[in-house]
Structure 1
């Protein structure tokens, strides 16, 4: 298939980040959320440069040699387009931030700087610096150093120019790393009644520069923020004498030395210092050298202080109605399947299931996969308690979960100290499936139950990520989960265990083939003029083979309804299609993270929830699983939720061939904001009336 029939993956991703920016720009979104969306946009872009821009540059260096990469036809053209798009978005970002600052001032929230402090605030800032900041900074006089010190990827730095009024020639350069991680980025100042004055940590340091450098005799200081983004790829070496863990640890150390892929700086920075930094970092003008405003690392703004007037009652997670009156989650699951729709339903039910298993004297074994865990993980706490109670506990901990590698290495140590068996991955395959199987003695037999989820076992993100988790004791589902764990526990023997999975769709073996077979069935049906429909909900859709198959379906007349949050590479309106592909993206308060597949199947619908996006990396280079939804009541619930999302005319955008991000607008019809409607739909099943606001 020609790449002309596809949107470039990375340009499509930038279009997604523009949708995040739209939320920051929306005056109907609460101010705290608007600031948070700016933080999300900034954090997304940082990761994009660390991973995707770095990968495109590697492609250019490879010069067409494939290695293990999925090569683009013209990576340099894509990099040029990225540079132009990012600069345009940066201008829009700055415009939105200026508007938000005005709105903050209307609410009597003032973001001040070192030049605008009254006497009381000046005294406070001086004392705060002495007590909380001074011990956490090490100013470096960089001109005297033989090479520029190591610059951390996620940090921001003050580039300081020190001068003496008496001599234009007497100046020095210094660097100060801003210790945001230790101290926090925001400092609340003494403020008049009814007002909130906030200063950024770098401005606290700016104010104190004369004290920091008092012994040098300089009396004039210019200080501007900059940051460096580096290639985040971990290269795993092939040294057979080192263990996999040692290779990950070595890869992490090498990542810190990664090549810079972006340099952002305050456009007011002293020209001499700017030129000096660019030269010492070995950057060229093609290296995404991006001028910006006074503030960088907006990702911290996701944690902006909560100084806002109280909003109406917020939506809070509630217990699934089937579990509300049950003494034990386990007893319900052994009788029937339960589908949790997070974050509407409480993730606490998953924790309860694991705690019950940890304490149940009849439970013998718990096996679970873990990809990204919460900082003080209650999931891990339950598993440790199970091990202490004599259960066999097996945790598949994916050490290569990007940006969570160090956390997972630490969790590995904690778990192993408690007697938990930790599996650390499979060569060349990331384990991304979200699976759990619990084995329990009941009389003379062993019964099994557990869950399959679309999202991580992370109670922190479960409050903001929209996912589905099927709690089940279905024997054929549990049999397949056991097969996957047999493979994970001894991957060198045979991959046949994965091939023997009959109920779950498993990557890298069967999922792609089974998906193609189900799409083919809809194509065949459409050609006989009968009803043929496919509903697809994903985070990302970029796999060429499956896109080609969807094009074939659209040409045959299959009705395609697609919801994709971020990367979307198909072109939806082609002449050969009997009807355009209906594709939307929903960006709202919760991150739409679930993957759902529904095939009409001649009226006997086949439904799946999955951990896998339709990307080459998921389908060919990861262990993934999709579980069928078999209970009619849950099928109806899942289909209803998908239909609510397809009807969204407030937060949905069309995924069109122009990447326009136009909102779906339905004239004078009722406004349907799918996350609100979904909450109300699920909440009314509890028999209660929700008074939660639209925010």
Structure 2
């Protein structure tokens, strides 16, 4: 990407993660939430290294193929990696500063993180018993000096590097590794406490206490142990062996991922220098391996589930039933009569589950077809589909095996659905992800076929629906249903080509017509602006990095089109380029819920065209995925979306200004009413429900 016209994608993403760090530093946010944001920041950083840094390292390694890998990247990837390294170190220092401040605030609430050197006799006895009863069976010490090859280190685990010797001799010391079994046991241990105190110990410190016990065979009397972790390349290479099935390729790719090259080594800066040098050498790390010194605690992502020991818990806003469904026994009866939009997490996701459960037991339902990208671990969606199959319905599930980090879970769901329940499972299209969120249900009443379903911006996952802001449009519109049928026809027979996708008339679909339709919609706004008519484009996205569409927005601004952008994450447009600073406004909202919905609004001469979409404005979404955007046709629903987007555009509490300098400055609120859009949206939607209940009761 030209530096003059665009912000480099990965640098922009780090700026988003800095906004997450801002939330952890915000004193108006509860302590529990601030700790959670530190966990989110840590998890985001890990994933960034696994995917983006790993990709850049591959590009350095295969520099001859660099243009083929990323045609828009003019900067050399090593230069980007160097800039990333600098920013990440700065962010890690800020992280450490924020965490130190939070520790002080925890002490004021009588909440203490206790390490192995601050246990009283009762706590020491408790920790030793807890280790013997719960932890010991999950601890496998590795004497690494005696192993010809360095043992396989898990990507998402933390390890204790142990040094042991006799106190009266610096010689004859041994090194060992212990994987901290946080997944099996849990990271946090609540200790016996008095005087209204809450004492919490981390699992690695429990292990530290018991090192003499673990290594009693050697009769050492000195032990030191420090945490480190290795982040690995998470890309899955799909080989071209025609003799293997797609499932076998994914399984092989997952095994190879476990052997991925290290892209980052993070360690406790207090680690024994000899052990550190030994680990770096045995892991074949070098100066360019992102060797990052840190504090005592790593894998902070576990802190997203920090124990609920806080005295000042604010009551969480609870999701509520959509007003159109408040007095209806069946979701289906409402949807066949009118379109409705569920706004998660404000509206209850139970409606989606009820919708599928109704279809599962409805004797008139003949078939259910649905796409699944990321499912909850104990998915109620899957349970409803299994129930439908057992009740004799034809069930077709498009299960995306290439959903990054969900590959293993989706392979397990495939086994359950296909092998145990006999459900037809579609596994996607080579070199393309199925990211569209679609469902269509077909029922026959006498001789009449009725079809209804939904198109969503988010995953069918009841867990993430509690914290992800998404929109799901339920409809029985015939044109929409015809297009969903066309998409499934393609998914079931992709070898015959994309003709069914090209035939879609109502939905905007990737990779066939969405890009061209968006261009046409922008061109119309440009034409109207040049003719002196009202012209505007409002977009709500997760990411905006597609160079061609960004240039199209530059053209629109140059023509005088009013542009309003709400972009949570990657934002590669330069707001000081051309006339963007005059005609465009861009903000990012980071708050309690993850803003995940994609909405496109085109002014269209005072007759707004509005779409809800699963696709971000990125090359991968528009050209290499199957995506769907649904037009909102009902005028009341259009107004509801416009109202919600306007609330977000008015946010002056959690909105940051997106600019070319990546300053992440908050939108100023001097002299204005404070508007925190997620709170205002909750009240806006909740008020509609209350009004509907009052109308019904009268």
Q: TM bucket by the smaller chain?
A: over 0.9
CA distance in 2, matches of 1:577, 1:45: 31
CA apart distance, 1:575: 4.2
**Structure 2 counterpart of 1:506:** 509
1:232 paired with 2:267, answer no
Q: Secondary structure at the match of 1:235?
A: coil
1:29 paired with 2:29, answer yes
**Structure 2 counterpart of 1:654:** 657
**Structure 2 counterpart of 1:615:** 618
Q: Provide Cα deviations, 1:160-214, integer angstroms capped at 9, x if missing partner.
A: 0001123221100000000000000000000114111000000000000011011
**Structure 2 counterpart of 1:364:** 366
CA contact (8 A) 2:557 2:563 kept: yes
What pairs with 1:558-637 in structure 2 (closer than 5 Å)?
558-577=561-580, 579-637=582-640
What pairs with 1:161-560 in structure 2 (closer than 5 Å)?
161-416=163-418, 417-560=420-563
CA distance in 1, matches of 2:102, 2:2: 43
CA contact (8 A) 2:349 2:462 kept: yes
CA distance in 2, matches of 1:575, 1:444: 60
CA apart distance, 1:645: 0.1
Q: Provide Cα deviations, 1:229-284, integer angstroms capped at 9, x if missing partner.
A: 00000000010000000000000000000000000000000001000100111111
CA distance in 2, matches of 1:407, 1:588: 29
CA contact (8 A) 1:683 1:689 kept: no
1:56 paired with 2:75, answer no
What pairs with 1:143-162 in structure 2 (closer than 5 Å)?
143-162=145-164
Q: Provide Cα deviations, 1:280-299, integer angstroms capped at 9, x if missing partner.
A: 11111111000000000000
CA apart distance, 1:4: 2.5
Q: Secondary structure at the match of 1:668?
A: coil
Deviates more, 1:310-319 or 1:67-76: 67-76
CA distance in 1, matches of 2:651, 2:192: 44
Deviates more, 1:63-72 or 1:412-421: 63-72
Deviates more, 1:277-286 or 1:644-653: 277-286
CA apart distance, 1:574: 2.5
Gaps of 5+ in 2: 694-698
Of the candidates 667, 671, 692, which is equivalent to residue 664 of structure 1? 667
CA contact (8 A) 1:556 1:577 kept: no
CA distance in 2, matches of 1:78, 1:147: 33
Q: Secondary structure at the match of 1:626?
A: strand
CA contact (8 A) 2:590 2:655 kept: yes
CA contact (8 A) 1:573 1:580 kept: no
CA distance in 2, matches of 1:24, 1:291: 21
Instruction: Give TM-score scaled by structure 2 length.
Output: 0.98
CA apart distance, 1:65: 1.3
CA distance in 2, matches of 1:118, 1:285: 43
Q: Secondary structure at the match of 2:60?
A: helix
**Structure 2 counterpart of 1:693:** none
**Structure 2 counterpart of 1:118:** 120
CA distance in 1, matches of 2:614, 2:305: 28
CA distance in 2, matches of 1:401, 1:488: 16
CA apart distance, 1:578: 7.5
CA contact (8 A) 2:560 2:583 kept: no
What pairs with 1:9-88 in structure 2 (closer than 5 Å)?
9-66=9-66, 69-71=69-71, 72-73=73-74, 74-88=76-90
CA contact (8 A) 1:557 1:578 kept: no
CA contact (8 A) 2:324 2:692 kept: no
CA contact (8 A) 2:399 2:427 kept: yes
CA apart distance, 1:480: 0.2
CA distance in 1, matches of 2:429, 2:568: 29
Q: Provide Cα deviations, 1:9-46, integer angstroms capped at 9, x if missing partner.
A: 00000000000000000000000000000000000000
Structure 1 consecutive aligned stretches of length 4 or more whose deviation exceeds 6 Å: none
CA distance in 2, matches of 1:681, 1:64: 54
Q: Secondary structure at the match of 2:569?
A: coil
| Count of paired positions | 690
CA apart distance, 1:66: 4.6
CA distance in 1, matches of 2:69, 2:187: 38
CA contact (8 A) 1:387 1:393 kept: yes
CA apart distance, 1:314: 1.9
CA distance in 2, matches of 1:590, 1:359: 34
Q: Secondary structure at the match of 2:171?
A: strand
Q: Provide Cα deviations, 1:562-601, integer angstroms capped at 9, x if missing partner.
A: 0000000000123444724200000000000000000001
CA apart distance, 1:486: 0.2
Q: Secondary structure at the match of 1:383?
A: helix
Instruction: Give TM-score scaled by structure 1 length.
Output: 0.98
CA distance in 1, matches of 2:493, 2:87: 46
Q: Evaluate the alpha carbon distance shift between residue 108 and residue 58 of structure 1 in structure 2; reply closer, same or farther with a 3 A threshold.
A: same
CA contact (8 A) 2:541 2:568 kept: yes
CA distance in 2, matches of 1:421, 1:562: 41
Q: Secondary structure at the match of 1:308?
A: coil
**Structure 1 counterpart of 2:696:** none
CA distance in 2, matches of 1:689, 1:522: 37
CA distance in 1, matches of 2:434, 2:341: 23
Deviates more, 1:454-463 or 1:524-533: 524-533
Q: Evaluate the alpha carbon distance shift between residue 106 and residue 620 of structure 1 in structure 2; reply closer, same or farther with a 3 A threshold.
A: same
Q: Secondary structure at the match of 1:492?
A: helix
CA apart distance, 1:530: 1.4
CA distance in 2, matches of 1:130, 1:507: 56
1:8 paired with 2:8, answer yes
Q: Evaluate the alpha carbon distance shift between residue 497 and residue 263 of structure 1 in structure 2; reply closer, same or farther with a 3 A threshold.
A: same
